[in-house]
């Protein structure tokens, strides 16, 4: 049984408020499974040698979703989990992950999700991952996700990775390898406040002809928080890639943005854009002329920017 | 009714005071459609910004329906029914046209109402509702959306700062036809800053602002011939 505050956490990170009645899911709570269900086309099995699960999606599965959220509510827990996804040829699936930490104690709570995606030929994956922290304790809420994606010929993957708020420290490590005609879109949205720190390293290797990738990173840093972004696109073939980092800086925050593009093939076309700046005064004034207070206007601008 | 009484605005530029607005007094009664014109740099936009509260006057008073609003903030004036369509509207990453119109209106707008506002300013509504008000829109599109944000509000006084700028001639002529009726339906009084003859033709009164002061004021029948003479006499007054 899930407690009410646990249900709230699940709703925030995975849009479900209880164990789902149907569909494939695995809910991990404080390092243990709180419920698991496979379907005919999506099989979830626990790993035998280490913590984590294998998720196998049968070839040509359509219109199905898997929910694999994690919640950590025990202060001082250090949870590491290895999840491997095997997406069969031609399958189309939506994966909802995410982690919520509720820490009311004085010890650090930490979750490291190590995800590997093997996406078969012409398969399409939509992946949503939301990170969120809350609780009154002085213990930190730490999330260090490692994501590795292998895209087979013609495979497509859209990844939306969001850090809502309340995560004291995060180091994100994302790698992707694209075969011929594979397509990847990563949208990263992140907000830090207080004295939080965030680092995100992304490496995309475009190995196959006709492959394409887009990384869109948007962040807001408030108070004394610090962020570092290091997205890299490496073109090893006739490919296209676009890296875009856009940050709003506020208060006494610090942001470093270091997009890197590399071409090892003369037909690689790679572009990057990066911008850091405070909220534009005209934007605030405009919203005030619609009757909003400056504080509300600021909130509306940030919400839009991170939407 | 809006009343400006002996309004002045001085800025400290390069160690000496520069008067941008000099002792301007103007009254815009209910139901009035006032067009403000005059040379670039004459102080028209500053006057609009003073009325909206974006700038604070160094002397004088602004009254709305008899109430002194000179010391009120932009937010407070907006809530009393003052609206201002920017000459160069800012762009917002991640905000849809529909959300902006709803924010302007003060509550979520149904799709069909949003569509009507957009159609009225010459935008094909279905295409635009969920588009973001960001760098992907052209200057002309931004201006039309800006006009629509004022049309989504019931205002005591609506100020449009060069609404025609950046809008192509064909769309502009369509816009002019509906502009006065539309605005009169939603707004008690209207001030338009414009250089366009066709917009001036809509005016009940015209005010010419030059060198920070009211250089001329009257009905369009009175002002127009004088304005044309000035144009013929010297090129200094002519602009796009």
Dump pLDDT digits (tens) for B90-143: 999 999 999 999 999 999 999 899 998 898 888 877 788 889 999 899 998 999
Residue A294 lies in a domain: no
Closest CA to B118 of B136, B134, B105: B105
Please check the confidence at residue B153 and state whether its pLDDT lies above 60.
yes
Please judge whether B89 and A286 are an interchain contact, meaning their C-beta atoms are less than 8 angstroms apart.
yes
**Containing structural domain, residue A246:** 4-281
Structure tokens at B11: 């800025």
Distance CA A91, CA A85 (A): 12
- Asked if residue A129 lies in contact with residue A163, where contact means CB atoms within 8 angstroms, the answer is no
Report the residue from B90, B93, B149 with minimal CB separation from A305.
B93
Please judge whether B74 and A288 are an interchain contact, meaning their C-beta atoms are less than 8 angstroms apart.
yes
pLDDT score, position B240: 43
Question: Is the Cβ of A160 closer than 8 Å to some Cβ of chain B?
Answer: no
Q: Which residue of A has its CA nearest to B146?
A: A286
Alpha carbon of A278: minimum distance to chain B alpha carbons (Å): 13
Distance CA A258, CA A230 (A): 5
Which one of 3.40.50.300, 3.90.1170.50, 3.40.1160.10, 3.40.50.1370 gives the CATH number of domain B2-237? 3.40.50.300
- A192 torsion bin: left (phi>0), alpha (psi -120 to 50), beta (else): beta
Residue A290 lies in a domain: no
pLDDT score, position B233: 62
Question: Is the Cβ of B79 closer than 8 Å to some Cβ of chain A?
Answer: yes
In chain B, what are the domain boundaries? 2-237
* CA angle at B144 for the pair B88 and B158, rounded to the nearest 5°: 75
Q: Which residue of A has its CA nearest to B97?
A: A304
Residue A289 lies in a domain: no
What is the reported pTM? 0.85
Please judge whether B94 and A306 are an interchain contact, meaning their C-beta atoms are less than 8 angstroms apart.
yes
Per-residue pLDDT of chain A (307 residues; tens, 9 = 90+): 788 888 888 888 888 877 777 789 999 999 888 889 999 999 999 999 999 999 999 999 999 999 999 999 988 999 999 999 999 999 999 999 989 999 989 899 999 999 999 999 999 999 999 999 998 888 899 999 999 999 999 999 999 999 988 999 999 999 999 999 999 999 999 999 999 999 999 999 999 999 999 999 999 999 999 999 999 999 999 999 999 999 999 999 999 999 999 999 999 999 999 999 999 999 999 999 999 999 999 999 999 999 8
- Asked if residue B194 lies in contact with residue B162, where contact means CB atoms within 8 angstroms, the answer is yes
H runs (alpha helix) in A206-280: none
Closest CA to A225 of A188, A250, A259, A258: A250
Determine which of B92, B134, B157 to mutate to test the interface with A (most A C-beta atoms within 10 Å). Answer: B92
Q: Which residues of B221-235 are buried (b: 16+ CB within 10 A; e: fewer)?
A: eebbeebeebeeeee
Furthest C-alpha separation in chain A: 61
Number of domains in chain A: 1
Structure tokens at B229: 């003479």
């Amino acid at each position: 049984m899930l407690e009410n505050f646990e249900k709230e956490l699940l709703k925030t990170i995975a849009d479900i408020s209880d164990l789902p009645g149907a569909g494939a899911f695995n809910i991990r709570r404080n390092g243990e499974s709180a419920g698991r269900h496979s379907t005919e086309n999506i099989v979830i099995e626990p790993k035998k040698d280490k913590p984590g699960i294998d998720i196998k999606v049968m070839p040509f599965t359509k219109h199905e979703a898997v929910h694999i959220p994690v919640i950590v509510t025990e202060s001082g827990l250090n949870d590491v989990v290895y999840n491997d996804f095997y997406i069969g040829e031609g399958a189309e699936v939506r994966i909802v992950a995410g982690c919520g930490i509720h820490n009311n104690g004085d010890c650090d709570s930490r979750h490291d999700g190590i995800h590997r995606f093997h996406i078969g030929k012409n398969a399409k994956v939509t992946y949503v991952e939301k990170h969120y922290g809350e609780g009154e304790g002085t213990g930190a809420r730490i999330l260090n996700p490692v994501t590795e994606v292998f895209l087979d010929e013609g495979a497509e993957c859209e990844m939306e990775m969001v850090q809502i708020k309340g995560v004291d420290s995060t180091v994100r490590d994302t790698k992707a390898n694209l075969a011929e005609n594979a397509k990847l879109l990563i949208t990263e949205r992140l907000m830090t406040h207080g004295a939080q720190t965030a680092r995100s390293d992304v490496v995309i290797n475009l190995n196959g002809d006709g492959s394409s990738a887009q990384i869109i990173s948007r962040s807001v840093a408030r108070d004394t928080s610090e962020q570092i972004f290091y997205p890299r696109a490496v073109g090893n073939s006739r490919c296209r890639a676009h890296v875009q980092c856009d940050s709003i800086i506020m208060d006494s925050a610090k942001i470093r943005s270091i997009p890197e593009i590399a071409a090892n093939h003369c037909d690689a076309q790679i572009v990057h854009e990066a911008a850091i700046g405070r909220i534009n005064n005209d934007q605030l004034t405009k919203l005030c002329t619609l009757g909003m207070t400056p504080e509300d206007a600021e909130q509306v601008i940030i919400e839009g920017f991170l939407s | 009714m809006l009343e400006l009484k002996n309004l002045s605005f001085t800025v400290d530029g390069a160690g000496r005071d520069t008067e941008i607005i000099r002792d301007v007094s103007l009254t815009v009664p209910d139901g009035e459609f006032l067009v403000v014109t005059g040379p670039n740099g004459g102080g028209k936009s500053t006057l609009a910004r003073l009325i909206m509260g974006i700038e604070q006057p160094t002397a004088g008073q602004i009254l709305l329906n008899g109430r002194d609003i000179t010391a009120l903030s932009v937010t407070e004036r907006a809530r009393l029914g003052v609206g201002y369509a920017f000459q160069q509207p800012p762009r917002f990453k991640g905000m849809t046209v529909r959300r902006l119109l709803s924010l302007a209106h003060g509550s979520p707008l149904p799709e069909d109402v949003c569509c009507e506002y957009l159609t009225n300013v010459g935008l094909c509504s279905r295409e635009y509702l969920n588009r973001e008000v960001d760098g992907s829109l052209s200057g002309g599109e931004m201006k039309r959306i800006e006009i629509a944000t004022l049309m989504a509000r019931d205002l005591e006084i609506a100020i449009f700062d060069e609404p025609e700028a950046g809008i192509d001639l064909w769309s502009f002529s369509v816009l002019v036809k509906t502009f006065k009726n539309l605005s009169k339906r939603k707004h008690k009084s209207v001030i338009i800053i414009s250089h366009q003859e066709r917009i001036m033709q809509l005016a009940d009164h015209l005010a010419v602002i030059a060198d920070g002061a009211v250089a001329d004021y009257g009905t369009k029948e009175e002002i127009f011939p004088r304005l044309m003479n000035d144009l013929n006499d010297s090129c200094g007054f002519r602009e796009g």
